[in-house]
Amino acid sequence: MSSPRIVRRVEIEAGAHWPDSVPRLLRRVYAARGADTPELARPRLADLLPPDAMDGMDAATTLLQQAIGQDRHIVVVGDFDCDGATACAAGVRGLRMLGARHVSHAVPNRMVHGYGLSPALVGELAALQPDLLLTVDHGIACHAGIEAARARGWQVVVTDHHLPGPRLPAADAIVNPNLPGDAFPSKALAGVGVVFYLLLALRKKLRDAGGFADAEPDLASLLDLVAVGTVADLVPLDANNRRLVSAGLRRLRAGHGCAGLQALIAVCGREAQRLTAADIGFAIGPRLNAAGRLEDMALGIECLLSDDAVRARELAALLNEINAERRAVQQDMTDDAEAALAGLLLAGSGTPLAPCLFDPQWHPGVVGLVASKMKERLHRPVLAFAPSEPGSDVLRGSARSIPGFHIRDALAAVDSRNPGLIQRFGGHAMAAGLSLAQADLAAFEQAWLAHATQVLDDGLLQAELLSDGELRPQELDRFHAEALRDGGPWGQGFPEPLFDGLFEVLDWRVVGERHLKLSLRHPGLREPLAAIQFGGWKGTPPASSLHLAYRLAPDDYRGGQSIQLVVEHLAPA
């Protein structure tokens, strides 16, 4: 694979009317992302898009209003990732705030029930005697489970954000901004965002009906959960999502997050006052996700629903242990994947255009992480498969893609040309999941590679790093590092600032066996700069002069006015 090509963004002069407190550098970064005014760069929660335009909202809130008024049993059915867990917790907490007295929750176990509201899960839910099921972060593809639930006389309200298939499930109401023809302006809401909008609309319906004799419930208290689920699910941070995430981060930084999230922040070793979206993505989210990958997401949801600080800390510690186990499993599986690809190279086969990886010993809860890691290293679409459970002849696969190759549409194309080959699939442009019989893996791989050969070209296979250009010597300081850190939230669709430039290497060493620590000379500065490339040690000393792509960050470990460059890519100058 060729090295990434550093491409500088076109420098755009920011618009007028910026307060003096916002440095020129940050204005330039915002403008390069299409946000050249304070209103676009830092959208306010007060300007949150209203829920009225979302299809199905009136039907869904009517059913929930009736269920609350009749004291019926509502069961919120979550999903086994971070978005699904936060959506479940927000749904349960929000419904109780809005007057529901009989609310329970459930979540599928990946190894027992499979994905979403399956007939197997419906069979277990019968013991709870629900009247209404509210699915969160799933349901749009759960045809059989919804039919099984309605056959028992239960109502089903689906809230989801995943792309629908050609046929919608027979639910009593569906709320999903990605339904065909839905007029809601933002299609980027995560599952937890859709649930939050449902609660906003339900509160309005109850308000209009005179449902609040006392103070109206403050649903903003759920924004900590909305922020965590939105960032962890890697949905684009458009203006509306940035409103939600910014407000949630403010709650967490002020120490107003739920007990479970405060405990997770502590167990991650982060400082709540300086929490960023990156901390959610790299520390909090993985610890919640680990429960659903290796154990049972019921642990994660219990942590998020706990109001007992002691119990929340116990659960956070357990999630931290599970995450450490997940990391070890992931490393072993990634090593296996790299060995398999190295074997193809030795045999003269070369790296497949869109690798399909399978090992009968792999864990189905971690294949998505392996696919993601290999996609990053190869800059090619990657699918990774594992048995859905030990000894099963059904494989569960996760797919991760590169810009320009819509992974769910690619699976749909393979499915349309090979009916029955894929048992089920779903997802988004950059990530998808599927299941198929192990006996069909070879046929699937052949069909998959045939499609990839038609669609992928050399241009798509060239990795690019978008740089915000060079930093001036006077911008390489703590003031600008903190301004960039606090100028977010940064994330998908609103990427964290990345800069590039030439540096002389004064000294280097390896830390933690895998990381490359550098002391650098910038031609415009007298003092050396500290830099680190995580996972950067490849066994070869760096060149004496380097072209770096890096992020400017405060160095809180050294304190004071220290900064460091976090290196994303280096090459000889």
What is the DSSP secondary structure assignment for residue 497, as one 8-state letter? P
Q: Say if residue 284 is in the same domain as residue 425.
A: no
Question: Based on the domain organization, do 131 and 207 belong to the same domain?
Answer: yes
Write out the residue range of the structural domain in which residue 482 sits.
465-572
Domain count, the chain: 3
Q: Which of 77, 196, 92 is nearest to 142 (CA)?
A: 77
Residue 159, amino acid? T
E strand spans, 129-240: 132-136, 155-159, 173-175
Q: Are residues 513 and 410 in the same domain?
A: no
User: Are residue 148 and residue 285 in the same domain, yes or no?
Assistant: yes
Shared domain for 539 and 437, answered yes or no, is no
Flag whether 478 is in a domain.
yes
Per the omega criterion (within 30 degrees of 0), is the bond before 38 cis? no
The helix/strand/coil state of 529 is strand
The model's pTM: 0.91
What is the C-alpha to C-alpha distance for residues 379 and 369, in angstroms, rounded to an integer? Answer: 15
Of 384, 395, 441, the residue nearest 418 (C-alpha): 441
Strand partners, 46: none
Q: Domain check: are 299 and 412 in the same one? A: no
142 and 106 together in one domain = yes
Domain shared by 68 and 215, yes or no: yes
Q: Is residue 7 part of a domain?
A: no
Contact 473, 33 (CB under 8 A): no
| Separation CA 86–CA 78 (nearest Å) | 9
Confirm whether 29 is domain-assigned.
Answer: no
CATH, residue 539: 2.40.50.460
Radius of gyration of the CA atoms of the chain, in A: 24
Residue among 45, 48, 50 nearest 184 (CA): 50
My answer on whether 386 and 357 are in the same domain is: yes
For the chain, 573 residues long, give each residue's pLDDT as a single digit of tens: 457 899 999 888 766 678 888 999 999 999 999 998 888 899 999 999 999 999 999 999 999 999 999 999 999 999 989 999 999 999 999 999 999 999 999 998 876 777 789 999 999 999 999 999 999 999 999 999 999 999 999 999 999 999 898 899 999 999 999 999 999 999 999 999 999 999 999 999 999 998 887 889 999 999 999 999 999 998 999 999 999 999 999 999 999 999 999 999 999 999 999 999 999 999 999 999 988 888 788 999 999 999 999 999 999 999 999 999 999 999 999 999 999 888 887 777 778 899 999 999 999 989 999 999 999 989 999 999 999 888 889 999 999 999 999 999 999 999 999 999 999 888 888 889 999 999 999 999 999 999 999 999 888 999 999 999 999 999 999 999 999 999 999 999 999 999 999 999 999 999 988 899 999 999 999 999 999 999 899 899 999 999 999 999 998 776 667 899 999 999 998
Q: What is the CATH number of the domain that holds 281?
A: 3.90.1640.30
